[in-house]
Amino acid sequence: MNSQIIFFILAALSIMSALFVVFSKNPIYSVIWLIVCFFTIAGHYIMLNAQFLAIVHIIVYAGAIMVLMLFTVMLLNLNKATEPHKPLLYKVAAMVSGGLMLLVLLASMRSTELGPYAAPAYSESGFVQNVGMVLFTEFLLPFEMTSVLFIAAMIGAVVLAKKEIH
Amino acid sequence: METNMLQANPQNWYLVLSTILFSIGVMGVLMRRNALIILMCIELMLNSVNLLLVSFSAYAGNSEGQVFVFFIMVVAAAEVAVGLALLVSIYRNLATTDIDVLSKLKW
């Protein structure tokens, strides 16, 4: 019973903050609401006993990605006045198409049976020990390849953001 | 932490929640014109998919889904770094982040 209440509070918070991200006029507020949304999602991970991912999520998203976003907002000097506006028609069309997509997905989900995934009594699959075991045995090669990806991304970011000298 | 924590919440709830979050992200991408907000909405969609994967992994008692989520986070971090660098470069050349200005490749 308790976990249901926690789930509903977290779910309401994450949906609300996600809506604020989309509807805020000021980009700074969007970034801050997105941080709130990421923290509630980390709460969901803890509810699912995925402790490793909850911590990594907070470190990577709230710690690294959002700081990068905030710095970009600061660097580009974005505020309410510079925010481009779409005509109302486009906004309504976007809302309708988003809502229709939600409707279609939910309708297709209603006819889905989640047979083999009946809730386990207690899941230890998210503990650091178990995730690390899988990560460093079965998925060792992809794990090492991510460093190549990061090098590529880092070099790409530096090259793209560098001022061109003519 | 009670042992039947997961038993109380049917997995359908997580399915519905991540569907709602994904739809909000799609709506944001369609609705906003600021490229930075569009990047943020893409992050939101990635996160809803992550939540779904974690819920499946936890309910199936299998750690591999969580490793997959870990790799998605890695890719998201790389994507944001490159995306923001592109954004800064665009802003330096055009002094705007409005995506409707960037229509040269549009047919």
User: Does a structural domain hold residue B76?
Assistant: yes
**Rounded to whole angstroms, how far apart are CA atoms B94 and A15?**
34
**Rounded to whole angstroms, how far apart are CA atoms A18 and A15?**
5
Q: Which B residues, 26 through 55, put their C-beta within 8 Å of a C-beta on chain A?
A: 26-28, 30-34, 36-37, 39-41, 43-44, 47, 50-51, 54-55
Tens digits of residue pLDDT in B22-37: 999 999 999 888 889 9
Tens digits of residue pLDDT in A63-112: 889 998 998 888 888 777 777 777 888 889 989 999 999 999 999 888 87
User: Does a structural domain hold residue B87?
Assistant: yes
CATH architecture of A1-107: Up-down Bundle (1.20)
User: Does a structural domain hold residue B44?
Assistant: yes
pLDDT classification of A43: cutoffs 50, 70, 90 = very high
User: Does a structural domain hold residue B57?
Assistant: yes
User: Does a structural domain hold residue B3?
Assistant: no
Q: By residue range, what is the domain housing residue B62?
A: 34-96
3-state DSSP call for residue B23? Answer: helix
